Structure 1
Amino acid sequence: MRTLIEVLRDNAVHTDRSVTFVRSNGEELSVSYPDLWLTARKRAHALRSLGLARGDRVALILPDPDEFVLTFLAALTAGIVAVPMYPPQTLAKLEAYGDTVRHVLAASGARAVVTTEALRGMLEEHLLAGGGVKTHGGVRVVLEREIHEADGFDPDADWSVELDETAFLQFTSGSTSSPKGVMVTFRNLAVNSHAIMFDGLRSTPEDRGVSWLPLYHDMGLIGFVIAPLYALVQVMFLPTTAFIRRPSIWLDAIHRFRGTITFAPNFAYALATRAVTETQAAGWDLSCMRALGCGAEPIQAEVLRGFLTRFAKNGLRPESILPSYGMAEATLAITFSDIDATLTTDRVDLMAMRAGMAKPAADGAAAALELVACGRSFPGHEISVVAPDGTHLEDRQVGEVWLRGPSVTVGYFNEPASTEDTFGGGWLRTGDLGYLADGQLYICGRAKDLIILGGKNYYPQDVERIVSRVDGIRDGQCVAFSRLDASGGEQAVVVAECRKSTPELSQAVMRAVRAEVGVQLAEVILIKRGTLAKTSSGKVRRREMKRRLETGELELAVAEDKGGVAPPPVPSRSGVFPPLLSGAS
């Protein structure tokens, strides 16, 4: 088993292979495998010259993908623990971003942060000094150009690391709690990369990857920077923001680069299906694509089918779709669907699911839920579905998904209590609800997000999917959760971004949810566009939105037809209204 550093060294003999970075202006930069290894060593030497020692943590806030990847590999080559961090998305949300930066720097104990000249002033003035981080471990701001070269570089120096050393800290998204630093070792990377590239994708050096995924998150970083190096697979990296603005660049790159492997969350397939025009798609040949991976958020069968149908005339094969499941605590990937199979789904009886049983729905049954199969665990790994009392359940019984095997990481950095809660007893407790059927894993949702009404279980994702289809609600921009009413009972609530706030829209949401899943919503609260709380990877933060509702921090949408006065939320049947919300205008 080789460390990533050994892979970089061994790959340097392949002068004909490279990674390609597409910049925001469309310029392409190709870095050959020999140059990748040389640059990693030069920058590793420069980092050491700054006084950073083996095992020190260095944070990376680098918007340009080429600078991020080259500096990340350099840190690992030097035995310095990298801490990937996302750059600021917008100045409008700088306060929340600053809170995250200060938390991650303090939690990781980073000695330095490598960033750009453009971000340096903001980091020093608004993010570091404000939270007292400069006195917490003495964080030093280092410009990317400072590590491009350093005196005294020895090309023959020995750069080596041990398999059980920590390679980097992958901070969790923070969708369910404060971000925690997952300690990913070189052994974890080697095992999971092999599982992804060889067990899952059955990859060869003839494959080509295309990715617009953020590189500071595990799917983009491990899935497309690290794992492909183990299989000599060349990759083209696209700017994440460019994809969001113009989704066609993703499929256009697959056509031009003859990409065979790509991954994206569910929302990206929906966005591309909706936003790509016939003119943009004309002339594309997508028959080269053999692995359209989907993961990182709930997978909707109708979205994947719509994407496959939309681009079938461009040569896209139905067998190319590849639902998967993973999480940072398992390095990245936990299950893959069969690389040669078409989309597999399971229609289950809605009433039975509320009782914790995934009973197949009768043909033609209206009260049914369709779930996507996420595949099987990798060789050397084991999945079990477990009840709250620790009982390992049989097929089609819903419980928490547990995993054990060499991809499971060693825990959270400096978080012994959380590590014991999640990793104790030899199993990784994922916190996700799911079930097994015919060896395939089906994910239902997060255990802590479950809505329980009258002793019956409801999954917020099912409610949110219905709400998103209501005309006037922004697609995917909503959350469902439960809260206590005046009598101490549970009631279901929806908070959603809307195009225009009206009482009729709130009523339409309530009718749709009641008709399709039988849930009587107590409240429908319409908020301003762009104010739904999300993680840096785009996951909705249900608990944060619940907190904002309870503390009066939601930014209500203004009803245009009411003279600028926000309409009251729709009351529950008991007549209980939510507290008056600040920010209403």
Structure 2
Amino acid sequence: MVRSLVDFLTTHASRQPDRTAYRFLVTGDSDGETEEISYGRLAERAQAIAAWLQERGLPGARAILLYPAGIDFICGYLGCLAAGVVAVPGVPPRGRKQNHRALTRMKRLIADADATVMMGDREVIDGLADMAEHLPELADITRVATEDIPDVAAASWRDPGLTPDSVAFLQYTSGSTSDPKGVVVTHGNLLDNVRILSERWGHTPDAIERYGHEMYVSWLPVYHDMGLIAPVLDTLHLGTTATLLSPLHFLQRPERWLTAISRFRPHTSGGPNFAYELCLKHATPELVESLDLGDWRVAFNGAEPVRAATLRRFAETFAPAGFRRESLYPCYGLAEATLMVSGGHPDEAPVLAATTAHGPAADTAAVGVGRPGPGLTVVVADPERHVELAEGETGEIWVAGASVARGYWRNVMDTRETFRATVTGHEGRFLRTGDLGFLRDGELFVTGRLKDVIVIDGRNHYPQDLELAAETAHPALRPGCTAAFPVDVVEREERQDVQDVQDGRDGGVTSERIVLVAEAAPEAVAGAEETIARLVRAAIGDAHAVPVHDVVLVRPGTIPKTSSGKIQRRATREAYLRGALAGVAEAAAV
């Protein structure tokens, strides 16, 4: 009986020790330097690290993993699992100078996880010494550069006796609507979710053989659930090969991702919607002509709203390279459910809702994200009455099944509220995702976040819809880099003066109004600020019959995002209210 992913590691190391488990593109280029590790070598390094942890009496403790992109992280992560230590993937320090946000997050991670050890490569561990004055918490934490742990330590490794109920790691949520929380993921959760991934993505023995065991190419950050569980842990589950590159190398040159897919010809690869938009932005005729994407069977798209326009344009642009529309694979998941909740079947084109149009006419349609994975139950519930809604009605998406994590680390109240919901007519407990959506013919459609809904004059508006309308208004606006949110506006009669309102006299009427913040390159905006703002207002007004109070154009990189690329609307709203946005220009408020 398989009790944990550690059992898969030891099995593959015994049966196919020389097979490449992971290949890392050091420079990000397919024809550049590569590092590879076989299953035999991977087991040896994981067991050596595990033995080092065991000898120091650390099983059950939390270890923060601070590695740059590469194979060392995988060895360290699996070393934690093999020792019975709870892994806590973290964002590695970037250089010796840390900004305030990074330091604050590190402090919170150390305190919340109650970590007793930090693991990384030598450069990271040495760099932590320079952060000591800003992070006094480091004084009580053991730090180790795992590359310095000798291979011979593996001989003293002891099986930790894991069970499916043993905690594997804490996945700190990316915090799109709240402070990050540590999701407690067990070995049983992982085993169930990699099973769902393999079933939903068609990772059958025949497919593995047909692809020569080359199943994944990924640039996704491994400290995030999508980048860890799909390309890294599902590879371990299958005993196949994954090709990895740094997220930074992808962002510098998005074509590296497509070139790696063309070179290594994997079955599966993907990312959030913005990744496909970046590829489209850099899709020169020369690039398309150089690629062969004919074997790319599952191009998954998740972690943020999936845009019908992006799917259409990507399929059309890369069709000459052999890419098939049927390979596009919208899906839905979240850390609290380990990773995947729903997805379609390979070789089926994406499902669009509420339209019979094709081409550009269907670009604003809602995109289906497939059906619940086998063993998972998904209901759309009224979040107030805790009753299941009828098909086609929009409500909160609730999930039950073995992939649903145990709860939030040392957070009883939020665990009870999020993971212990009940639905009339259904047995057991449900996870409240906080996402809104509806079911139609078994297909799930995600429409937004419960806490992000904007109510104007009694009507609900989803910020994703407003953002999409804005982004199509002018080519200077960057796709996936727009935030819509509400602000309170005091509407007063003309007889009231400013001092009256400030003092609360004769108060006027306070109502919610929409603000739209959009990123644009300064050179693309120069002299056209008012025109762009007018077009944005018109586009949102035409599509949603709602006025926009303010349009703010900001420099690229200004709008805060989570580690998975999700827009942080609350943080953007707070920056707007503080007047802290680094603007390219700002349209006058109406």
For residues 74-111 of structure 1, what are the alpha-carbon distances to aligned partners after superposition, in whole Å with 9 as ceiling and x for unaligned?
11111111100112457887211111111111110111
**Cα distance change on mapping 1:366 and 1:187 into 2, 3 Å:** closer
Q: Please tell me the residue identity of whatever aligns with 1:5.
A: V
The offset of 1:131, in angstroms, is 4.6
Q: Please tell me the residue identity of whatever aligns with 2:438.
A: Y
Structure-2 residue corresponding to 1:441: 444
The offset of 1:220, in angstroms, is 0.9
Is contact 2:328-2:349 (8 Å) kept? yes
The offset of 1:434, in angstroms, is 0.2
Secondary structure at the counterpart of residue 155 of structure 2 = coil
**Cα distance change on mapping 1:363 and 1:512 into 2, 3 Å:** same
Is contact 2:51-2:157 (8 Å) kept? no
**Cα distance change on mapping 1:79 and 1:243 into 2, 3 Å:** same
**Cα distance change on mapping 1:79 and 1:115 into 2, 3 Å:** same
Alpha-carbon separation, structure 2, partners of 1:115 and 1:228? 22
**Cα distance change on mapping 1:364 and 1:526 into 2, 3 Å:** closer
Alpha-carbon separation, structure 1, partners of 2:41 and 2:544? 56
Structure-2 residue corresponding to 1:210: 217
**Alignment counterpart, residue 293 of structure 2, candidates 258, 261, 286:** 286
The question of 1:330 aligning with 2:326 is answered no
Secondary structure at the counterpart of residue 485 of structure 1 = strand
**Cα distance change on mapping 1:471 and 1:255 into 2, 3 Å:** closer
Alpha-carbon separation, structure 1, partners of 2:360 and 2:105? 46
Unaligned runs of 5+ in 2: 422-428, 491-508
Is contact 1:367-1:517 (8 Å) kept? no
Question: TM-score, normalization: structure 1?
Answer: 0.88
Structure-2 residue corresponding to 1:266: 273
**Cα distance change on mapping 1:504 and 1:152 into 2, 3 Å:** closer
The question of 1:496 aligning with 2:497 is answered no
Structure-1 residue corresponding to 2:554: 527
Alpha-carbon separation, structure 1, partners of 2:482 and 2:363? 22
Q: Please tell me the residue identity of whatever aligns with 1:143.
A: A
The offset of 1:16, in angstroms, is 4.5
The question of 1:48 aligning with 2:54 is answered yes
Is contact 2:308-2:362 (8 Å) kept? no
Alpha-carbon separation, structure 1, partners of 2:447 and 2:440? 13
Q: Please tell me the residue identity of whatever aligns with 1:158.
A: D
Secondary structure at the counterpart of residue 408 of structure 1 = coil
Q: Please tell me the residue identity of whatever aligns with 1:298.
A: P
Alpha-carbon separation, structure 2, partners of 1:172 and 1:221? 13
- Bigger drift between 430-439 and 1-10 goes to 1-10
Q: Please tell me the residue identity of whatever aligns with 1:377.
A: P
Structure-2 residue corresponding to 1:387: 382
Secondary structure at the counterpart of residue 354 of structure 2 = strand
Alpha-carbon separation, structure 1, partners of 2:516 and 2:342? 31
The offset of 1:533, in angstroms, is 1.1
**Cα distance change on mapping 1:163 and 1:347 into 2, 3 Å:** same
The question of 1:409 aligning with 2:405 is answered yes
Structure-1 residue corresponding to 2:121: 116
- Bigger drift between 98-107 and 150-159 goes to 150-159
Alpha-carbon separation, structure 2, partners of 1:475 and 1:542? 15
The question of 1:396 aligning with 2:392 is answered yes
The offset of 1:462, in angstroms, is 1.0
Alpha-carbon separation, structure 1, partners of 2:337 and 2:530? 45
Alpha-carbon separation, structure 1, partners of 2:344 and 2:442? 11
Is contact 2:46-2:75 (8 Å) kept? yes
Any residues of structure 2 matched to 1:79-118 within 5 Å, and which?
79-88=84-93, 94-118=99-123
The question of 1:14 aligning with 2:36 is answered no
Is contact 1:88-1:94 (8 Å) kept? no
Secondary structure at the counterpart of residue 311 of structure 1 = helix
Secondary structure at the counterpart of residue 104 of structure 1 = helix
Structure-1 residue corresponding to 2:69: 64
Secondary structure at the counterpart of residue 383 of structure 1 = strand
Alpha-carbon separation, structure 2, partners of 1:151 and 1:493? 60
Q: Please tell me the residue identity of whatever aligns with 2:537.
A: M
For residues 4-57 of structure 1, what are the alpha-carbon distances to aligned partners after superposition, in whole Å with 9 as ceiling and x for unaligned?
0101011111135212111126311111111111111011112334x2511100
Any residues of structure 2 matched to 1:143-158 within 5 Å, and which?
143-146=145-148, 148-149=149-150, 153-154=154-155, 157-158=158-159
Is contact 2:330-2:367 (8 Å) kept? yes
Structure-1 residue corresponding to 2:415: 419
Is contact 1:396-1:436 (8 Å) kept? yes
The offset of 1:552, in angstroms, is 2.9
Root-mean-square deviation (CA), in Å?
2.4
Secondary structure at the counterpart of residue 24 of structure 2 = strand
**Cα distance change on mapping 1:364 and 1:167 into 2, 3 Å:** closer
Secondary structure at the counterpart of residue 289 of structure 1 = coil
Alpha-carbon separation, structure 2, partners of 1:324 and 1:199? 10
Is contact 1:203-1:231 (8 Å) kept? no
Is contact 1:113-1:141 (8 Å) kept? yes
Structure-2 residue corresponding to 1:563: none
Q: Please tell me the residue identity of whatever aligns with 1:435.
A: F
Alpha-carbon separation, structure 2, partners of 1:282 and 1:65? 30
Structure-1 residue corresponding to 2:575: 548
- Bigger drift between 12-21 and 387-396 goes to 12-21
**Cα distance change on mapping 1:441 and 1:92 into 2, 3 Å:** farther
The question of 1:481 aligning with 2:468 is answered no
**Cα distance change on mapping 1:362 and 1:535 into 2, 3 Å:** closer
Alpha-carbon separation, structure 1, partners of 2:359 and 2:99? 50
Q: Please tell me the residue identity of whatever aligns with 2:54.
A: R
Alpha-carbon separation, structure 2, partners of 1:17 and 1:488? 65
The offset of 1:119, in angstroms, is 3.3
Alpha-carbon separation, structure 1, partners of 2:548 and 2:362? 18
Is contact 2:435-2:449 (8 Å) kept? yes
Identity %: 34
The offset of 1:68, in angstroms, is 0.8
Alpha-carbon separation, structure 2, partners of 1:326 and 1:521? 32
Q: Please tell me the residue identity of whatever aligns with 1:536.
A: S
Structure-2 residue corresponding to 1:571: 589
Structure-2 residue corresponding to 1:24: 27
The offset of 1:71, in angstroms, is 0.8
Is contact 1:255-1:286 (8 Å) kept? yes
Structure-2 residue corresponding to 1:340: 347
**Cα distance change on mapping 1:256 and 1:117 into 2, 3 Å:** same
Secondary structure at the counterpart of residue 308 of structure 1 = helix
Q: Please tell me the residue identity of whatever aligns with 1:170.
A: Q
Alpha-carbon separation, structure 1, partners of 2:404 and 2:589? 46
Q: Please tell me the residue identity of whatever aligns with 2:434.
A: G
Secondary structure at the counterpart of residue 396 of structure 1 = coil
Question: TM-score, normalization: structure 2?
Answer: 0.88
**Alignment counterpart, residue 431 of structure 1, candidates 420, 429, 434:** 434
Any residues of structure 2 matched to 1:123-162 within 5 Å, and which?
123-126=128-131, 128-134=132-138, 138-146=140-148, 148-149=149-150, 153-154=154-155, 157-162=158-163
The question of 1:187 aligning with 2:192 is answered no
**Cα distance change on mapping 1:375 and 1:363 into 2, 3 Å:** closer
Q: Please tell me the residue identity of whatever aligns with 1:111.
A: T
Structure-2 residue corresponding to 1:352: none
**Alignment counterpart, residue 251 of structure 1, candidates 250, 258, 267:** 258
Alpha-carbon separation, structure 2, partners of 1:4 and 1:239? 24
**Cα distance change on mapping 1:189 and 1:443 into 2, 3 Å:** same
The offset of 1:258, in angstroms, is 1.8
For residues 165-192 of structure 1, what are the alpha-carbon distances to aligned partners after superposition, in whole Å with 9 as ceiling and x for unaligned?
1000000001111110001100001011
Alpha-carbon separation, structure 2, partners of 1:369 and 1:43? 50
Structure-2 residue corresponding to 1:463: 466
Any residues of structure 2 matched to 1:501-512 within 5 Å, and which?
502-512=529-539
The offset of 1:524, in angstroms, is 1.1
For residues 204-256 of structure 1, what are the alpha-carbon distances to aligned partners after superposition, in whole Å with 9 as ceiling and x for unaligned?
33342111111110111000111122222211111211111112211211122
Secondary structure at the counterpart of residue 497 of structure 1 = strand
**Cα distance change on mapping 1:144 and 1:40 into 2, 3 Å:** closer
Is contact 1:534-1:541 (8 Å) kept? yes
The offset of 1:275, in angstroms, is 0.5
Is contact 1:59-1:85 (8 Å) kept? yes
